[in-house]
Chain A
C-alpha cells in the first residue's frame, strides 16, 4: 500500500471537510493547499485508486430527505451469520452491516421512507434461518454525525 505523504494527508483533511461548491472546486482546494488544480486532481485520483477514499460526493441528512433510520441488532447462530448478513445486504436501505463481539453479533442500519416498509423488511429478516432474537433501536436525537479522521 502506498505511503501517505504530508501533502496527501493535508489533501485528505481538506477533502473530508469541505469540497467547494463552485465551478472549479479542485482549483479552490489547490489554492487552500498552496498548489495547482492539476496537482490536486492527480492527488485525489491516486488516493482513490489506492483505496483510501471510500466515497467523494454529497452526504445527505436522511431525516430531512424524509427517511427514517433504525439500528437493528440480531442474535444469530454463528454458522448462519454469513447467510443472514448477505440476505440483509440485499435490501437497498441497509447502509451499514457489521459483525460485532457480544451476544448480539450482527448490527445493521436500515433507512426506509416509511415505518410500514421497515416493519415488512424486519419481519422477513426475523424469520431467516439462524436468527434467534432481534432488537429494534429507533433513533431519536442525533447528537453527532461526523465521520472525519484528522490526519497528522
Chain B
C-alpha cells in the first residue's frame, strides 16, 4: 500500500528532474523530508517495482527512429507466452502486451516496433512473423503524434 508520504514522493518524482549536483536533495525538500529518507524510499519503490526505472526517455524521432508501427497479431492463446517471448527479445520492440480480442477485431498481441526507415521496420516485422509463424497481423504505422506524455498520478 502507498502511504500519503509515498504519494507525495511520487508526485515530486513525476515533475522535471532537477539537473543539478544534488537533485534528490531538492526533491526531498519539496516533500519535507531528509535526502536520506527520500533516497531510501525511492530505492524501496524501485525494489517493489512501483518505479520501473529512474532514467530518461528520448524523443525517438529526433534521434533517427522515424518509422514506428503498432502491430496487432492474432496468436493462438496457447502460444501467447512463447510468441511474446520471441517478440520481446527483439531490441526493436519496445512494448509487447496481450490484450483481450473483440469479435470484430480478433487480434490479441500488440507490439510497438521502431526503426530508422519504413523498409527496415517492415523487414523487422516480417522477421518477427517468420520467427513466430504468425500469418494474420496488421501493421499500423504512426502518421502523427497527437500526444505522448508521462502520466501524472494522484491528481484525480
Q: A16 to chain B: closest CB distance in Å?
A: 5
Give the residue of B105, B138, B146, B150 whose beta carbon is less than 8 angstroms from that of A98.
B146
Q: How far is the CA of A13 from the CA of B12 in the complex (A)?
A: 24
Q: A87 to chain B: closest CB distance in Å?
A: 11
Q: Is the CB of B50 within 8 A of A96?
A: no
Q: B43 to chain A: closest CB distance in Å?
A: 5
Give the residue of B50, B58, B99, B142 whose beta carbon is less than 8 angstroms from that of A71.
B99
Q: A18-B53, A64-B49, A98-B142 are in contact. Are A89 and B147 (CB under 8 A)?
A: yes
Proximity string of chain A (43-74) to chain B, C-beta cutoff 8 Å, 1 when within and 0 when not: 01100100111111111111011110001010
Check if B96 is an interface residue, CB within 8 A of chain A.
yes
Counting chain B residues whose Cβ lies within 8 A of the other chain, the interface size class is: 35 or more
Q: A61 to chain B: closest CB distance in Å?
A: 5
Which A residues from 17 to 31 make CB contacts under 8 A with B? 17-27
Give the residue of B91, B93, B151 whose beta carbon is less than 8 angstroms from that of A150.
B91
Q: How far is the CA of A1 from the CA of B59 in the complex (A)?
A: 13
Contacts of B122 in A (CB 8 A): none
Contacts of B60 in A (CB 8 A): 147, 149
The closest CB in chain A to the CB of B9 belongs to A58
Q: Is the CB of B10 within 8 A of A65?
A: yes
Check if B30 is an interface residue, CB within 8 A of chain A.
no
Main secondary structure of the interface of B (DSSP, over half): mixed
Counting chain A residues whose Cβ lies within 8 A of the other chain, the interface size class is: 35 or more
Q: Is the CB of A57 within 8 A of B15?
A: yes
Contacts of B95 in A (CB 8 A): 142, 144-147
Q: Is the CB of A61 within 8 A of B19?
A: no
Check if B79 is an interface residue, CB within 8 A of chain A.
no
Q: How far is the CA of A145 from the CA of B121 in the complex (A)?
A: 19
Q: Is the CB of B70 within 8 A of A107?
A: yes
Q: Is the CB of A53 within 8 A of B53?
A: no
Q: Which of B19, B22, B25, B55 has the most CB of A within 10 A?
A: B55
Q: Is the CB of A24 within 8 A of B55?
A: no
Q: How far is the CA of A21 from the CA of B23 in the complex (A)?
A: 10
Contacts of B4 in A (CB 8 A): none
Q: A117 to chain B: closest CB distance in Å?
A: 8
Q: A58-B51, A71-B110, A94-B147 are in contact. List 4 more A-B contacts (CB 8 A).
A: A21-B43, A21-B54, A144-B95, A147-B60
